Amino acid sequence: MSEYKLIVFDWDGTLMNSLSRIAACMQAAASDVGIEPATDEQVQDIVGLALELAILRLHPVLDGTQVQLMRERYSHHYVVAESTPSPFYEGIPGMLGSLSERGVLMSVATGKSRKGLSRVFNAHGVGALFHSSRCADETRSKPEPHMLLEILDFHGLQPHEAVMVGDTEFDLEMASRAGVDSVGVTWGAHDIKRLQRHNPKVCVGSVNDLSTWLHQAV
């Protein structure tokens, strides 16, 4: 198995069990704007995209003013809901802690905003585990490769020295376009058939299987 110097994780749906909260907040924002809310399944389909792009995918008839209003209302609802932070999937804190103890470089590439990622870092006290991160309001949205390429540049690494872990085809397509290997996790937003379209090294169905694979690969 290849040896990697860096593991890049997606956040929502990969490490954090936040998909239902994202759906509820997106639906509340749509109601605030006065449009028909998307279903849970429709929202799950766009998890991982930058917020504005996600909103336009769900509601393509909105004009610029409505999109901005919906962005603001989604952010409001999410911040309120996060007064009780979304939990990690069971086993994730232990896996991250174990990798950190081994000195493994870890990064985050997320559709969250920088403010949003900082909030969850602070709420869970995990920011120090990650050596870098890129957020959707700092660069091009997934599935463009920019997030990963910028992380690689920050660490002075080549694409073959990193692996991307994610739950959506946006994560895995981003990795493919950046020349980075990927691992798909099947407990998140997109099913295994969608993940396999982008030729991940493996798709795993449990945190234990992910932990085992990563510990063998770094």
Task: Output the pTM of the full model.
Answer: 0.95
pLDDT of 2 reads 60
CATH number, domain of 129, equals 3.40.50.1000
Q: In whole angstroms, what is the distance from residue 216 CA to residue 56 CA?
A: 40
Number of domains in the chain: 2
User: CATH no. for residue 49?
Assistant: 1.10.150.240
Residue 1 maps to a domain: no
Residue 17 has which token pair? 């069990």
111 shares its domain with 209? yes
Predicted pLDDT of residue 3: 84
For residue range 78-128, what is the model confidence (pLDDT) as tens digits? 999 999 999 999 999 999 999 999 999 999 999 999 999 999 999 999 999
Segments in the chain below pLDDT 70: 1-2
What interhelical angle do 51-58 and 19-33 show, nearest 10? 70
